[in-house]
Amino acid sequence: MDAGLKRRAGLAVAVAVAACAASLLSGCYYGHLVGGQYELLSRRQPIAELLANPATDAALRRKLERTLDARSFAVRELKLPDNGSYTRYADLDRPYAVWNVFAAPELSLQAHEWCYPMLGCLAYRGYYDPQRAQAEAQALREQGLETFVAGIPAYSTLGWFDDPLLSTIGDAEDGVAGTIFHELAHQVEFAGGDTAFNESFATFVEQEGLRRYLKNAPELAQAAHLRQQRQAASVGLMLDCRRRLEAIYASDVPDAEKRERKRAEFERLRREAGAGFAGELNNASLLPFGLYHAWVPAFAALFRAEGEDWNAFYQQVGELADLDIEARQRRLEELNR
């Protein structure tokens, strides 16, 4: 892993601990993060030991075997970091690793941001405790913002810790592989204060990596293809709704008419998504789709421009990350054309 990236990640953790110690408050947000991360790491078990144990559940055994195979592929074929990540397993005994809070104004898709030492500003705030996340969301609603709390099955510590495979990651084996590719990509490069850049980059690596991986795992290909089709259709509907809402919010019509058109757009989205869709719909609930997919086509274009050479591609991604955010977005927009 790039030494500069590891240094930035390490400083972020150190600052979090120092900030909490300085505050001497039991409710310190940074203390919550440190405690949650420590509790997660304390649950790690070597995958090799679990596979050697005949009492290990058969479904978990398949998941662990797939983890090691996907990790090996990631290092060998995708040139992702080769470290202790995904060599251990942690059973968290809860449905999600963290709960992220997103927020946006009533008539805007501009994400509310939280700023952190060394990491810059991010378009979400994560909590290990869902009640804390809901309390944060309620406080933001009282400020007039729309909010959305999303359960997140996995996250990256950017290489500072050896991230384990978590029980919160689903059992679908192609999903396990995709998650590993995504989270290892975060260890390659991280641009402070640019959530859309970081998540779109990792999403591209996940998608392209999985496409290549499935060629070597035909037993997963059919089920994976169906899941990808459903996901692509859902994401497409969300992104289309975002684009229509952005045009409404940018228009000169009165706010009352904007609210009416917004209501109609969310009703349309719910109809198009089908009867099985029961998720919350507001501006904040659309934010993750823009953050995780906004620049995926740009990264795909950059990958092709580098002859689909992963190391050359990562070098270019690193150069993009070193630009100021305005110059970075201009370059990404050029690649998107």
CB within 8 Å of 153: residues ≥ 6 apart: 96, 97, 166, 168, 169, 170, 179
Residue 218 pLDDT level (bands cut at 50, 70, 90): confident
Section 201-209 average pLDDT: 96
Q: Which of 3-12, 62-71, 185-194 has the lowest mean pLDDT?
A: 3-12
Tokens of 79: 């040139």
Tens digits of residue pLDDT in 247-283: 999 999 999 999 999 999 999 999 998 866 677 899 9
Give the burial string for 154-183 (b: 16+ CB within 10 Å, else e): bbbbbbbbebbbbbbbeebbbbbbbbbbbb
Q: Which of 115-124, 197-206, 215-224, 254-263 has the lowest mean pLDDT?
A: 115-124
> Residue 76 in 3-state DSSP?
helix
- Give the pTM: 0.86
For the cut 50, the answer to whether the pLDDT of residue 152 exceeds it is yes
CA 29 to CA 42: how far, in whole Å? 20
**Do the beta carbons of residue 114 and residue 224 sit within 8 Å?**
no
Within 10 Å of residue 231's Cβ, how many Cβ atoms?
Answer: 10
Per-residue confidence (pLDDT) for residue 4, from 0 to 100: 35
Section 152-157 average pLDDT: 93
Q: What is the DSSP letter of 166?
A: E
Residue 290 pLDDT level (bands cut at 50, 70, 90): confident
Domain that holds residue 76: 3-336
Residue type, 136: E
Residue 292 pLDDT level (bands cut at 50, 70, 90): confident
Section 138-159 average pLDDT: 95
CA 247 to CA 91: how far, in whole Å? 44
Per-residue confidence (pLDDT) for residue 276, from 0 to 100: 60
Q: Which of 110-119, 148-157, 177-186, 253-262 has the lowest mean pLDDT?
A: 110-119
Tens digits of residue pLDDT in 295-331: 999 999 999 999 999 999 999 999 999 999 999 999 9
Domains held by the chain: number: 1
String of DSSP letters for 131-163: HHHHHHHHHHHHTT-EEEEEEES----TTSS-P
Tokens of 132: 């804390």
Mean residue pLDDT of the chain comes to 90
Per-residue confidence (pLDDT) for residue 272, from 0 to 100: 92
Residue 14 pLDDT level (bands cut at 50, 70, 90): very low
CA angle 224, 225, 230 (to 5 degrees): 100
Count of CA atoms in the C-beta half-sphere (13 A) of 200:
25
CA distances 48 to 52, 55, 61, 124, Å, are: 6, 13, 10, 35
Residue 34 pLDDT level (bands cut at 50, 70, 90): confident
Q: Which phi and psi (to 5°) does residue 215 adopt?
A: -65, -30
For the cut 80, the answer to whether the pLDDT of residue 27 exceeds it is no
Q: Which of 24-28, 123-127, 172-176, 329-333 has the lowest mean pLDDT?
A: 24-28
